[in-house]
């Protein structure tokens, strides 16, 4: 029965996909390097340039790349079903809705009253 | 009640599932739905942070300047490594390398312990110097330039506290997994709890990936 299930997974093209250890190692290494890059940029913007408008965008861009690596490989979303990918994307969609309307609220308030 | 009493691999399969794979995929989908609620819960805090940051940028920069980014940096590396060991424990179980899976699970717990020790060290230092949340912040002792610096620490303790709670719960769950794995309860045919807790543990890492630059670096 177990062997039977196993063959079903194979034919269905999903299920217990074994992600190679080599990929996990590379992802972990990439995450370490990106973390070093984050503090490297922090040092550049903070201690060398004494503040830059790029500091926040660069830090969060690197964080987004790191988060994508964790999602795709450690959480296995790259190899997961379309259902699960849609479910998780919906979470970010609703978070975007929250951010969008909050930003709109603040922006229009400033336009009307010149302050928050 | 709902599980078969036979001592085969199917003993884990509840009667309302077609087979072990159907049960595994359903359990995993439930975990993903749970992860959406996690994203929305922390997301609300991030949006709140962004709004008040827009109101008081100087105060937030002052708050972040009092944190030691090196400790946050080390904790980031610790959590990334723990995510790696967690992922590897599933990899080993899928190949029936049970003892290696147990080692990786205990390593993950160990990383959680290191993370929480560093966090406790940070918290006690902040408490001693009067950096408390909201109105509890000691404006005189901290030499705060912004009178409302307590708001930054309100966000700091809320976000890292909620995150730390997740780490503690995750550690408890992984101890439970490691003990079950030691008894040989998991293998290539059944590792659903390890997969589910693994996804939870990775989301804890994922949230920290954003908390670190937000609280320690950018401010």
CB environment B163-201: b (16+ within 10 A), e (fewer): bbebbeebbebbeebbeebeeeebbbbbbbbbbbbbbbb
Q: Compute the mean pLDDT over every residue in chain B, rounded to the nearest whole number.
A: 92
A84: pLDDT confidence band, cut at 50, 70 and 90? very high
Residues A62 and A25 occupy one common structural domain = yes
For the CA atoms of B99, B103, B104, B105, the dihedral, rounded to the nearest 10 degrees, stands at: 100
- Closest partner residue to A84 among B21, B32, B202, by Cβ? B32
Please report whether residue B9 resides in a domain.
Answer: no
One domain for residues A76 and A87: no
DSSP string for B57-72: HHHHHHHHHTS-HHHH
Cα distance between residue B67 and residue A54, in whole Å:
21
pLDDT tens for B36-93 read 999 999 999 999 999 899 889 999 999 999 999 999 999 999 999 999 999 999 999 9
Residues of A in contact with B186 (CB under 8 A): none
What is the residue whose two structure tokens read 């406790």?
A: B120
Residue A95 maps to a domain: yes
Q: Tell me, what's the pLDDT at A1?
A: 39
Residue A26 lies in a domain: yes
Q: Chain B partners of A31 at a C-beta cutoff of 8 Å?
A: 80, 83
**Chain A residues inside the 8 Å CB shell of B39:** 88, 91-92, 95
Q: Specify whether A35 is located in the same domain as A74.
A: yes
Do A29 and A75 reside in the same domain of the chain?
A: yes
Q: Are residues A63 and A92 in the same domain?
A: no
Tokens of B123: 């918290």
Q: What is the pLDDT of residue A15?
A: 53
Q: With respect to residue A11, please indicate whether it lies within any of the assigned structural domains.
A: no
Q: Does some domain include residue B14?
A: no
Angle between the N-to-C axes of helices B20-55 and B192-211, in degrees from 0 to 180, rounded to the nearest 10: 10
pLDDT for the residue A113: 77
Q: In chain B, whose CA is at the least distance from the CA of A56?
A: B218
A1 belongs to a structural domain? no
B1 in any annotated domain: no
Q: How confident is the model over B22-32, as a mean pLDDT?
A: 93
> Is residue A71 located within the same domain as residue A91?
no
Separation in Å, CA A106 to CA A56, A77, B46? 20, 35, 15
Decide if B12 is inside a domain: no
Confirm or reject contact between A110 and chain B (CB < 8 A): no
Q: CA B143 from chain center: how many Å?
A: 33
Query: Which residues form the domain of B137?
Result: 22-218
First to last CA, chain A: 65
For CA atoms B39, B40, B41, B43, the dihedral sign is positive
Residues 12-41 of B with CB under 8 A from A: 19-21, 24-25, 28-29, 32-33, 35-37, 39-40
User: Using CB atoms within 10 A of its CB, is residue B38 exposed (0-12), middle (13-18) or buried (19+)?
Assistant: middle
Q: What is the CATH number of the domain that holds B168?
A: 1.20.120.80
Contacts of B20 in chain A (CB under 8 A): 2, 5
Interval A46-75: pLDDT, tens: 888 888 889 999 999 999 999 999 999 999
Is residue A14 assigned to a domain? no
B11 located within any domain = no
A25: containing domain: 19-80
Closest CA to A80 of A25, A5, A17: A17
Is the domain of A97 the same as that of A70? no
pLDDT of residue A100: 93
Inside any domain, residue A6: no
Q: Which residues of B touch A99 (CB under 8 A)?
A: 43, 47, 50
Predicted local confidence at residue B10, as pLDDT = 62
For chain B, what is the domain count?
1
* CA proximity to B163, closest of B125, B198, B211: B211
Residues of A (20-79) whose Cβ lies below 8 Å from B: 21, 24-25, 27-28, 31-32, 35, 38-39, 42, 46, 55-56, 59-60, 62-63, 66-67, 70-71, 73-75
Task: Answer whether residue B13 is part of any domain.
Answer: no
Collapsing DSSP states into helix, strand and coil, what is residue A32? helix
The number of distinct structural domains making up chain A is 2
- Residue A12: exposed, middle, or buried by beta-carbon count in 10 A (0-12, 13-18, 19+)? exposed
Phi, psi of B14 (to 5 degrees): -75, 155
First to last CA, chain B: 53
pLDDT tens digit string along B105-148? 999 999 999 999 999 999 999 999 999 999 999 988 898 888 89
Q: Which of A35, A46, A116 sits opposite B77 (nearest CB)?
A: A35
Nearest CA in chain B to A73: B87
Are residues A53 and A88 both part of a single domain? no
The answer to whether the beta carbons of residues B105 and B198 sit under 8 Å apart is: no
The fraction of chain B above a pLDDT of 90, given in percent, is: 81
């Amino acid at each position: 029965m177990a062997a039977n299930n196993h063959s079903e997974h194979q034919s269905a093209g999903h299920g217990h996909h074994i992600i190679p250890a080599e990929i996990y190692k590379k992802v972990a290494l990439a995450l370490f390097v990106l973390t070093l890059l984050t503090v490297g940029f922090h040092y550049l913007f903070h201690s060398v340039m004494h503040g830059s408008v790029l500091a926040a965008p660069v830090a969060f861009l690197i964080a987004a790349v790191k988060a994508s690596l964790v999602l795709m490989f450690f959480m296995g979303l790259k190899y997961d079903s379309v259902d699960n990918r849609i479910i998780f994307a919906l979470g970010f969609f609703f978070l975007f809705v929250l951010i969008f309307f909050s930003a709109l609220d603040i922006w229009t308030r400033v336009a009307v009253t010149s302050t928050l | 009640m709902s599980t078969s009493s036979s001592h085969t691999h199917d003993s884990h399969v509840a009667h309302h599932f077609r087979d072990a794979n159907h049960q595994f995929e359903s359990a995993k989908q439930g975990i993903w739905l749970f992860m959406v609620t996690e994203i929305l819960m922390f997301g609300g805090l991030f949006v709140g942070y962004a709004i008040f940051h827009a109101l008081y940028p100087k105060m937030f920069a002052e708050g972040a300047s009092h944190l030691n980014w090196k400790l946050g940096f080390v904790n980031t590396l610790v959590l990334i490594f723990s995510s790696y060991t967690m992922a590897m424990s599933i990899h080993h179980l899928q190949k029936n390398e049970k003892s290696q899976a147990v080692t990786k699970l205990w390593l993950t717990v160990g990383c959680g312990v290191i993370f929480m020790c560093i966090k406790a060290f940070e918290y006690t230092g902040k408490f001693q110097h009067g950096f408390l949340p909201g109105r509890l912040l000691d404006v005189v002792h901290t030499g705060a330039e912004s009178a409302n610096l307590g708001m930054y620490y309100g966000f700091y303790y809320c976000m890292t506290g909620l995150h730390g709670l997740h780490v503690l719960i995750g550690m408890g769950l992984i101890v439970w997994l490691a003990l079950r794995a030691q008894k040989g309860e998991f293998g290539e045919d059944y590792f659903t709890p390890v997969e589910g807790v693994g996804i939870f543990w990775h989301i804890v890492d994922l949230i920290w990936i954003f908390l670190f630059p937000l609280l320690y670096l950018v401010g």
